[in-house]
Amino acid sequence: MTARPHPRPTSALTIAGSDSGGGAGIQADLKTFAAHRVHGLSAIAALTAQHTRGVTAVNVPDTGFLRAQIDACFDDFDIGAVKLGMLANAKVIEAVADALEHYRPAHVVLDPVMVSTSGARLLEASALDALRTRLIPLATLITPNLPESELLLGQPIANVAAMHAAIARLHDLGARAVLLKGGHLQGDGDVVDLFADIDGGGEILAIAHPRLQLEAHGTGCTLASAVAANLCLGRDLGASCAAAADYVHAALLRGYRPGNSDILVLDHFGAAPHE
């Protein structure tokens, strides 16, 4: 008897940097996809030597090889969403933008990675303009934190009112939808992220969670990947962002410390949605 073929699942592709410590980057992205039962693909745009205490070295592969990885993924898989993470320089950004313009995936979630949790600069200064002009207009959603938004906009964001104004200015840069992460705001109250589907005409939605008194690694990568996974599962953009924020909070609550520092790594599978 011939077994009935299973339907081909929708896959999520991460184009990002590899974290040798396993807490962020490609490694966190693939764990997130797996926790959501979405098949994960990867194209490695940078190699980092890092652990929970910081980044010690970065190597950027040839852009031709990066494009070969992307081409191989699109050639064989049904890709429902692409997540973009660490893209270290303008040449890499241009190569990724060219590929996205060629393949036109249904969804692109851009996490504009610029600085690591430990403070290491992960984006060359000359690449900032390429990020603004080539990638932001191609993204379905961008997920910057406040320091990243300040670099993109060239102005400080000191409170929730300034976050609202920043969303409008990010739209002026070409962003169609924004999930602006508010974890860097000072205070003891809830962490408030703001979601706005600007092109969709939706109002700004506040997504709040209790502030946890801890330091963690890989939260930004995980959030963007969880959004991409939820989009692959057929959820709309607002529901995907809310579910992703819930997932990160749950993974933080269950987090653990595998290294010699106090930095927490997320528990992806302990936080896996049960549906």
- Beta carbons of 20 and 48 less than 8 angstroms apart: yes
* pLDDT tens string 24-39: 999 999 999 999 999 9
Provide the pLDDT confidence category of residue 120 given band limits of 50, 70 and 90.
Answer: low
Cα–Cα distance list, 111 to 1, 135, 185, 190, 275 (Å) = 47, 10, 19, 22, 26
pTM of the model: 0.93
In this predicted model, which residue has the larger pLDDT, 177 or 55? 177
Q: pLDDT per residue over 228-255, tens digit each?
A: 999 999 999 999 999 999 999 999 999 8
Assess whether pLDDT exceeds 70 at residue 121. no
- Region 197-205 average pLDDT: 83
* Domains by residue range for the chain, with CATH: 11-265 (3.40.1190.20)
Mean pLDDT of all residues belonging to the chain: 91
Question: What percent of the chain shows pLDDT beyond 90?
Answer: 71
Q: Which of 9, 34, 20 is nearest to 218 (CA)?
A: 20
Name the token pair of 23: 């807490």
